[in-house]
């Protein structure tokens, strides 16, 4: 039992002793409050006296009050030769709103208490210099935000006592989203002659429509740890309550001609954190771009674009890295993205700087954040495997040229190998003739994989496609799809695809990147979704049977006998 409950129990015992002398006339069920007027954040004690068996039903009280500190005491006395049993039930009520509140009739056994009324007045919010044991402050970083702007809200609770329990609440206004950010920060501060413990809690408020927005002040209710005698005689038994003033925000609508996607921020800066000093053809070099957005969050920030250099170079982007913090009452987003650049030709390579349009909420105007163009001097690539030298036909006929420098005079061993090769060739021709004579009509089969022509270069897999969809540019995605489909252009890929959703997703990404229509991040997400199981090509219903039967007729499992 806490010290507050001990004090309440002692008061009940004292009351029972006094009631024992009043006779059986006071044994009926009744209830009373220790006071009929209280300020917002305060509490009252409700006491019920009864001679009924059982306990009161407190359920009707929960509509307008929070309940705490229930106590019960009973005593049996002899009055005028009669045995009388009386019970006292106590409970602490904290009003949930201001105004005249009704304390409804409560049932105890077969009887009911009479209804009561309580007047709850609005208490002037206590603040700095008031000398209050506890007070609350609410700080908003922008009182005139735009629609969908991220607004930082900081709530600070100051208390100059030891808390046994407590609750700090900030209600979510209508037509907004409110999200708590991070963990509470605890510090201390000296105000006048009192040392306060400070609890700082941070929130992110996003208004969804324009017009006046009422932000109710944060409120605190709790119980402090006091001395034994103060708990016995104090009316609130160490209870504390505080409330910050209400505030009204004027939410502004999205201005005409605002950049799309809509990005309202306090500040946005772009910079290179790593740049290459030189480059060579065919060798990858890396650069990194950092975006620092004050008043921005990861959910609203667009993806940094992937530069396109056409045939001059290929650019591959890694997934961005995010870091969200809270500074001076406002959210701060830091985004970093690394790119790999593979030059395809020598000379001066100019990489156009990344640009982002945003809306300056402080100045009320459109701005553009940009990093400068990047120029690289591209040298020839390093040593590679040389192709076999081509010998002119005239030189071959004359017995000259570099290709003949490694030849040795023909001897008997070379004639032997040539004879063996001719014998194997004759045997292969005989086998081919035998297979053609035994050829049967082929059964139609369904193609399960896209064919890749022999001269298409490296064969790309579904894993390559997925990696490119996650971190590569549109050019890389198209290149891999073209290799998988055996074609050489985006138009040919579109014509080869049998799935209408896959064609539409490619067109959407193309418009987002090259025409500035739509959200690049959303287009990339749609590409990942429709190509999750790979491309669906237009393929013939069947394929011809191979010229040669399996090496071991009757076995189709690919295992040796």
And the tokens for 406?
């490694």
And the tokens for 560?
């040796």
Q: What is the DSSP letter of 31?
A: E
Average pLDDT over the chain, rounded to whole? 77
Neighbours of 162 (CB within 10 A): 10
Give the residues across from 117 on adjacent strands: 102
Which runs of E-coded beta strand occur in 466-539? none
Q: What percent of the chain has pLDDT over 70?
A: 71
Lowest mean pLDDT among 150-159, 189-198, 484-493: 484-493
Please state, in angstroms and rounded to a whole number, the distance separating the CA atoms of residues 77 and 86: 8
Closest CA to 95 of 71, 114, 123, 67: 67
Report, as an integer, the average pLDDT of 261-277: 93
Please state, in angstroms and rounded to a whole number, the distance separating the CA atoms of residues 434 and 436: 6
Whether 9 shows a pLDDT value over 70: the answer reads no
Query: Residue 35 burial by CB count (10 A; 0-12/13-18/19+): exposed, middle or buried?
Result: exposed
> Which residues are within 8 A (CB) of 121 and not within 5 positions of it... i.e. 6 or more apart?
37, 38, 39, 40, 98
Element (H, E) at 197: strand 194-207
Neighbours of 309 (CB within 10 A): 18
The size of the chain, in residues, is 561
pLDDT at res. 411: 45
Q: What is the CA radius of gyration of the chain?
A: 42
- pLDDT tens string 543-553: 444 444 444 44
Neighbours of 338 (CB within 10 A): 17
Please state, in angstroms and rounded to a whole number, the distance separating the CA atoms of residues 248 and 18: 52
- pLDDT tens string 478-508: 888 888 888 877 888 888 898 999 988 888 8
Q: Residue 102 to residues 55, 61, 67, 150: CA-CA distances in angstroms?
A: 21, 9, 15, 41
User: Residues 268, 269, 274, CA angle at the centre, nearest 5°?
Assistant: 150
Please state, in angstroms and rounded to a whole number, the distance separating the CA atoms of residues 24 and 477: 92
> 264 or 449, which is more confident?
264
Give the residues across from 243 on adjacent strands: 219
CA 167 remoteness from chain centre: 27
Most confident of 198-202, 435-439, 470-474: 198-202
pLDDT at res. 491: 81
Reported as a pLDDT band with limits 50, 70 and 90, residue 457 is: very low
Q: What percent of the chain has pLDDT over 90?
A: 35
Please state, in angstroms and rounded to a whole number, the distance separating the CA atoms of residues 495 and 453: 17
CA 488 remoteness from chain centre: 39
Whether 115 shows a pLDDT value over 90: the answer reads yes
Give the residues across from 33 on adjacent strands: 46
């Amino acid at each position: 039992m806490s010290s507050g409950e001990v004090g309440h129990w002692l008061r009940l015992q004292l009351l029972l002793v006094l009631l024992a002398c009043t006779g059986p006339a006071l044994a009926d069920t009744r209830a009373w409050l220790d006071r009929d007027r209280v300020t917002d954040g305060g509490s009252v004690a409700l006491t019920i006296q009864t001679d009924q068996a059982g306990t009161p039903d407190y359920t009707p009280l929960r509509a307008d009050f929070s309940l705490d500190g229930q106590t019960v005491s009973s005593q049996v006395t002899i009055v005028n030769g009669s045995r009388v049993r009386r019970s006292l039930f106590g409970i602490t009520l904290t009003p949930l709103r201001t105004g005249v509140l009704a304390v409804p009739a409560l049932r105890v056994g077969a009887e009911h208490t009479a209804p009561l009324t309580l007047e709850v007045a609005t208490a002037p919010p206590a603040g700095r210099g008031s000398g209050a044991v506890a007070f609350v402050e609410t700080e908003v970083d922008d009182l005139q935000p735009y629609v969908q702007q991220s607004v930082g809200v900081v709530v600070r609770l100051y208390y100059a006592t030891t808390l046994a329990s407590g609750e700090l609440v900030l209600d979510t206004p209508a037509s907004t989203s409110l999200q708590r950010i991070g963990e509470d920060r605890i510090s201390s501060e000296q105000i006048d002659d009192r040392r306060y413990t400070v609890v700082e809690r941070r929130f992110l408020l996003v208004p969804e429509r324009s017009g006046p927005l009422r932000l109710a002040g944060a409120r605190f209710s709790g119980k402090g740890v006091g001395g034994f005698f103060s708990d016995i005689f104090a009316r609130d038994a160490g209870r504390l309550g505080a409330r910050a003033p209400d505030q009204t925000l004027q939410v502004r609508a999205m201005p005409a001609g605002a950049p799309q996607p809509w990005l309202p921020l306090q500040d946005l800066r772009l910079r290179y954190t790593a740049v290459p000093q030189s480059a060579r053809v065919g060798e990858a070099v890396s650069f990194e771009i950092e975006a620092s957005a004050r008043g921005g969050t990861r959910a609203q920030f667009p993806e940094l674009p992937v530069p396109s250099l056409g045939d001059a170079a290929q650019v591959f982007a890694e997934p961005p890295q995010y870091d969200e913090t809270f500074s001076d009452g406002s959210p701060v987003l830091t985004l970093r993205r690394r790119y790999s650049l593979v030059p395809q030709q020598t000379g001066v390579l100019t990489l156009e700087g990344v640009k982002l349009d945003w809306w300056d909420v402080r100045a009320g105007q459109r701005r553009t954040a940009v990093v400068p163009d990047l120029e690289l001097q591209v040298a020839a690539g390093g040593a590679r495997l040389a192709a076999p030298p081509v010998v002119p036909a005239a030189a071959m006929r004359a017995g000259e040229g570099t290709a003949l420098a490694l030849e040795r005079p023909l001897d008997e061993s070379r004639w032997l190998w040539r004879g063996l090769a001719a014998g194997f060739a004759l045997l292969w021709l005989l086998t081919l003739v035998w297979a053609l004579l035994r050829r049967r009509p082929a059964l139609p089969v369904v193609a399960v994989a896209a064919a890749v022509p022999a001269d298409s270069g490296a064969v790309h897999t579904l894993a390559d496609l997925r990696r490119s969809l996650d971190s590569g540019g549109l050019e890389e995605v198209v290149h891999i799809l073209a290799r998988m489909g055996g074609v050489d252009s985006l138009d040919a890929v579109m014509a080869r695809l049998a799935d209408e959703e896959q064609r539409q997703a490619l067109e959407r990404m193309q418009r987002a990147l090259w025409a500035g229509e739509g959200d690049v991040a959303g287009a990339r997400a749609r590409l990942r979704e429709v190509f999750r199981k790979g491309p669906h090509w237009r393929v013939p219903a069947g394929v011809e049977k191979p010229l040669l039967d399996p090496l071991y007729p009757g076995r189709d499992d690919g295992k040796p006998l």
